[in-house]
Structures are given as structure tokens and as C-alpha cells.
Amino acid sequence: IDMELAAAGEKVFKKCKSCHQVGEKAKNRSGPVLNGVVGAAAGSVEGFKYSKALRDAAQDGLIWSEAELTAFLAKPKAYLKGTKMSFAGLRKEADQAAVIEYLKTFE
């Protein structure tokens, strides 16, 4: 883990905090807890009610690899038609990479 990049990602993650939590006491909000999301099967957070679109993608075997997360974070609604995630996306590739690096610190 690149801690410098992760520190930059912590700042970018402030845009995500209204819907998502990470860390030891994280709880599902309008978005699921993101602990361990990098490399995880999509739709696998206990107790979170996912959109049909995400449930279908999960059933088709979607894994949140860094490449898949990057594409999703860039334009969620274009990546996954029907997603509940209302966030417009992170346009800057550097921001996408930083947030993913930050998320990797929460296994």
C-alpha cells in the first residue's frame, strides 16, 4: 500500500462519507460499508439492500478489482445502469486511484 497515495485518498473520500463508512465501527448508510471492498465480490456486504442492477452484476460474478472500481468510480451510472449510487463520479484518474488506495487500508 502506497501510504502517500492513501493519505490523498482519505481527503478524496470526504466526497463519499455522506453515504459510505469505513473503519472499525462502520455502519451501512445509504451506501454499504466499504471495508475490504477492493478485491471483494460485488454485493457482499451483510445487511445492505442493493439495487437490482448490482445484485444482477454480483450474480454474474462481478469482483471489485481495482480496474472495476476505477470504472465504477469514474461514472457509476454509466458503468452500472440502474445503480442506486447517485454520485456523479470522480473525473480525475488520480482521485480514483487515491480513493482505491485508501480503501485498501481497510481490509
Q: Where are the domains of the chain?
A: 3-103
Residue 35 corresponds to which cell in the numbers above? Answer: 471495508
Q: Are 75 and 46 in contact (CB under 8 A)?
A: no
Q: What are 3-37's pLDDT values in tens digits?
A: 999 999 999 999 999 999 999 999 999 999 999 99
> How far does CA 96 lie from the centroid of its chain?
10
Whole-number mean pLDDT of the chain?
Answer: 97
* Fold of the CATH domain 3-103: Cytochrome Bc1 Complex; Chain D, domain 2 (1.10.760)
Whole-angstrom distance, CA of residue 61 vs CA of residue 35: 19
Residue 79 corresponds to which cell in the numbers above? Answer: 458503468
Report in angstroms the alpha-carbon separations of 90 from 19, 52, 103: 15, 23, 15
Q: Say what the pLDDT of residue 49 is.
A: 97
Instruction: Please state whether the predicted TM-score (pTM) of the whole model is above 0.85.
Output: yes
